[in-house]
Structure 1
Amino acid sequence: MIEIYKKLPKTNCGECGDATCTAFALKVINSQRRIQDCPYVANKDSKLALNKPVATMDDNYSRVSYELEAVAKCVNFKDASAAIGGGYEIKDGEERITLKMINKPYEIRRKGLYENDTYCIDSWSKIIIYDYVRRQGRRSLTAEWVTLGYFTNTASHVKAFQRNAEEKIATKFNDNKQGLIIRCKELGGVAAQGQMRADYIYQFGLLPRIPLYMCFWEADDEFSASCKLFLDSSAEDYIDIEYLAYLVERFVEIFVH
């Protein structure tokens, strides 16, 4: 950490998002930040290069994705596809599991994860899909809609989730209900009914057995539009909750762009 700290401006300017250079250096060494996130390091010449490589978040994610890939390659493809709601086929003599994540098609082959017939290099896509395949939840949907905070060890994520996910959708479509409907359909959303009363309720497939329910209330004379996102309470049987939180935020980023 000291070695990293020496390369920083030591001004505690806060431009990286952390209060002090010491806090930033600690996160770098713990693979929670990249040293390039400091604008003063990123913009200087090679004299600021570290004397030895430091693991970054991307390195960490890549390592985890390959570890999960090794496990996923060894599952019984036919059984796994049935358990996770995917398709199973043999093409060119090779077993394949087909599935969609946020309405985007993927194939799991013995060689790895493929997108548009090309090996997928996105570490997060691999982590999420491989974790989903290896868990093979097998639990039926409960029809019990819950927020992210329902699941164990997610209390610390709730406020950030509301700000980074639900409020983004509400703000984006505050006075554009037609745009909301069009975007829902573009991402495979299906009008639904359920436990909540809202102006619009749409169901999306984050993964085949992990539905996401979006409830949207239009703006009126007193209040701005609002949005709540719900999951089926069975979701934790199918995917690690940390990965699930990221998957929902990823859905939102796609939805609002």
Structure 2
Amino acid sequence: MADPIIQIEKLSKQFVSGKQTKKVLENVNLTINPGEFISIIGPSGCGKSTLLRIMGGLDTDYEGSVYFENGPIKGPGRERGFIFQDHRLLPWLTVEENIKFSLPESTENVEKIIVENLEIVGLQDVRKAYPKQLSGGMAQRVSIARALSNQPKILLLDEPFGALDAITKMHLQEEMLRLWEMEQITMIIVTHDIEEAVYLGQRVIVMDTQPGRIKQSYNIEQSIPRSRVSPEFHRQKDKIYKEFFEEKLQTFYYTI
């Protein structure tokens, strides 16, 4: 079996503000294997986005160990692509210029890279357009093409579809599954949407809060192609809801 692509051991993280200290993550242990599609879900404030930022090297102030391919993560790297909720395209650059801007100056065959990655997301016809000329879904697809242009081994997605309408969101979920199957990239998505987590993930990591910790890990069995209306899909979605979120709701209503 291949070595893990991400290995997290005894990870804890706290934020200090003045005299106050808030523990965000506590004793998180997680192994992610190459080629997996992992969904991380949990309530607001459980530290799931912080966990993703640590895996991406965007936050290095923590206790414990986080490894990428057996080496400690010391900062951001092009082998780990990051896609945020907002597309973060530079508005004064065209689509192709945004992709080119993300590449190292020493990159060869830049034109080929731009064309190939825009073709992957189906946007080869808008390469001369500016971000303001794109819909929200199209702009997010450009951000995906931009991340893919660096040939990452892993894509980290922080609620990338949260600001989109329902139809566009479903379409881009299908796109991500297609990319995952085609490119064989490890993908980790943070989401607050149970249905999205189950539909995309091979494994769903459920986090608890105060402080953030992993509560449960579910292996998801899906038919190929995946179906949002299959009994198996709804069974697995309902299992996560009943075993975690209903417990939270019961606690809430009991305390009021």
TM-score category (smaller protein): under 0.3
Structure with the higher fraction of residues in helix conformation = 1
Structure with the higher fraction of residues in strand conformation = 2
User: RCO (CA 8 Å, sep 6+): is it higher in 1 or 2?
Assistant: 2
**TM-score, with length taken from structure 1:** 0.25
Larger Rg, first or second structure (1 or 2): 1
**TM-score, with length taken from structure 2:** 0.25
